Amino acid sequence: MNVQKLAVIAAVTGLLGGTIAGCSGGGQQNQGGSANTAAPAQEFRINLAAEPPALDSSIATTNPTFTILNAINEGLYRLDKDGKPTPGLAKEMPQISGDGLVYTIALRDGLTWADGTPLKASDFEFAYKRTLDPATKAKYATMMTWIKGGSELNKAKPEEVEAKKAALGIKATGDTTLEITLVKPVAFFTDQLSMPIFFPQKPDFVKAQGDKYGAEATTVIGAGPFKLEKWDHNQQLVMVKNDKYWDAANVKLTKVVVNVVKDSSTGLNLYETNQVDLTELKGDQVTMYKDKPDVAIKNEFVTAYIMFNQNPQYAPFLQNAKVRQALSMAIDKKSMIDIVLGGASVSATGLVPVTMSDGNKGEFRKTAGDTVAAFDAAKAKQLLQEGLQELSLSALPKFKLTADDTDVAKKTVEFIQAQWKQNLGVDIDGEPLPFALRVEKMQNKKDFQALIALWGADYNDPMTFLDMWVSDNASFNYMQYKNKQYDALVASADKEVDAAKRTQMLVDAEKLLMNDMPLAPLYFRTRPYARKTNVQGLILPPMSKEWELKWTYIK
């Protein structure tokens, strides 16, 4: 059943009242009173606010994509409820050499893909080499440059690629043994092996699909707890239990239906009429559900911010630091969170979110302090005037603020639009776009003036928020920020082995970035969900994924 039909059923059910809702039961409630002792159906229905782009682990960059990939495939390790790596396709934790550079990993015996064909260590080798191949244009390839020869392969000329692949520090030394050699010790590398970018790929399948790989339910294959049975684009994804999964005996869910629902009112209506079991709460819904037993909170390593394009062809007036500082300072973030997000989330006091490690046994925000100036309309107006004088302008030209077309994103744009008009006299046009189009415009074309985006951590270290903005990071520096001093600080921190010195370098880097203000942090995201109370074992991870379903079941 597609989302439009579900929405119609939900709306009609809501109008007719609780009788129909009670009778329908949504397939999750036992009927007939105490006489019915049948086990509940192990089917889980979820709302997801955005359609995932292609389900190709080499080119994936978005949370919706990571989330689905994590359900239908698996890496060497999988993160548990405490965010700790546990053996996935690997039989045990890695054997690490004394110098921290060589990881020897044994795979489980008898692993297969969802189609029953053998999964081998060479499937990891193929995937990593494909990701690092410049022709793949993988945005996350930078995370694989920790592997010896990774950077050289990723920058290779076409005629050099095969030689660089042969020299890459990943070798399948047998069908069930993988050896990975790093350029330098990376303390959290085992955690990283749980990320989709490090998932295996089936070589003959990938080659057969060509550029259609990962684009449809029939052109993707995994070795995870579930397999993708159906994909109605921008409507619904249906996953079913993968009986070939190595740990299938401990996967309780037999079916997962993921509805792509952008409108939060529609999403809650589906939830309240028992059409779905999990939906994110937005705006006034957060207040409505406060203190209810079916509220679940997802604390995230995610920061929302406005990027100001530093390519002068798009908005030359946004090249001025005082103008950018004024635009940031003119937004009352606390009011925005209360009005738009229903009080969920925390005002950003820097780029790196609260509770994230500083890499030296402390919390980065406590170590760095506040690096973003608080709301101050008068000071913002003064900064704008100073910036306009430096630009020889009497007023700031109108520009576009691009964002997703979800309900919350559109309301966020409207709030900022009103704040800039009220506090600075600045007029802008909002540009809401479907998620995939916004990502395309931001990532591939870098075609925007100002754009609202969110970044979620890939690992629990401030570097995941700070190395994005170095001048030569073409994969993620969408705003095309350039500062040699910033580049030097990040590069030095990347090489520093003294934890305290490294932390200070990262603190200094964030302070410099926030003074230049090529991006204006808005909030550290906390997301409340409405979750049926009979849903057990669901994990809402702080980073990379919307949810983890392996251990979920219906009570």
CA distance 530 to 261: 15
Neighbours of 200 (CB within 10 A): 27
- Are 121 and 186 in a shared domain? yes
Fill in the DSSP letter of residue 219. G
Residue 545 and residue 510 in one domain: no
Return the SS3 of 469. Answer: helix
The CA distance from 435 to 455, in Å, is: 14
Closest C-alpha among 396, 394, 374, 403 to residue 320: 396
What confidence tier does 494 reach under pLDDT thresholds 50, 70, 90? confident
pLDDT given for residue 11 in this prediction: 42
Q: Residue 187: its pLDDT value, please?
A: 78
Domain with residue 168: its CATH number is: 3.40.190.10
In a domain, 128, yes or no: yes
Q: In one letter, which amino acid is 439?
A: V
Cβ contact 553:253 at 8 Å: yes
Identify the pLDDT of residue 305.
Answer: 98
pTM of the model as a whole: 0.75
Domain annotation covers residue 243: yes
User: Do residues 418 and 514 both lie within one domain?
Assistant: yes
In a shared domain, residues 539 and 523: no
Residue numbers of the domain that contains 360: 298-527
**Is 15 inside a domain boundary?**
no
What's residue 3's pLDDT?
Answer: 53
Q: Under 8 Å CB-to-CB from 549, ≥6 apart: which residues?
A: 44, 71, 225, 226, 253, 256, 538
User: In CATH, what number is assigned to the domain containing residue 459?
Assistant: 3.10.105.10
Does residue 326 sit within a domain? yes
Q: Which tens digits make up the pLDDT trace of 184-239? A: 888 789 989 999 999 999 999 999 999 999 999 999 999 999 999 999 999 999 99
Residues 328 and 345 in one domain: yes
List the structure tokens of 552: 């979920």
Q: Is residue 406 part of a domain?
A: yes
Model confidence pLDDT, tens digit, residues 10-62:
443 333 333 222 322 333 443 333 334 566 799 999 999 999 989 999 999 88
What is the number of domains present in the chain?
A: 2
Instruction: Return the half-sphere exposure (C-beta side, CA atoms, 13 A cut-off) of residue 56.
Output: 25
Q: Are residues 344 and 380 in the same domain?
A: yes
300-326: pLDDT as tens digits? 999 999 999 999 999 999 999 999 999
Vertex 9 angle, CA 273 and 536, to 5°? 35
- Do 513 and 372 sit in the same domain of this protein? yes
212 occurs within a structural domain: yes
CB 370 within 8 A of CB 349: yes
> 486: Cβ–Cβ under 8 A, 6 or more apart, which residues?
469, 470, 509, 512, 513, 516
Residues 229 and 309 in one domain: no
**Residue 240 shares a structural domain with residue 333:** no
pLDDT tens digits, one per residue of 352-404: 999 898 988 899 999 999 999 999 999 999 999 999 999 999 999 999 999 99
Q: Which pairing describes strands 450-456 and 399-404: parallel, antiparallel, or unpaired?
A: parallel
pLDDT at position 432 is 95
The whole-number average pLDDT for the span 161-167 is 98
Domain assignment present for 12 = no
Please tell me whether residues 509 and 547 are part of one structural domain.
no
Are 536 and 521 members of one domain? Answer: no
Please spell the DSSP secondary structure of 177-218, one letter per residue. Answer: EEEEEBSS--TTHHHHTTSGGG----HHHHHHHGGGTTSSGG
Q: Are residues 440 and 509 in the same domain?
A: yes
Residue 35 domain-assigned?
Answer: no
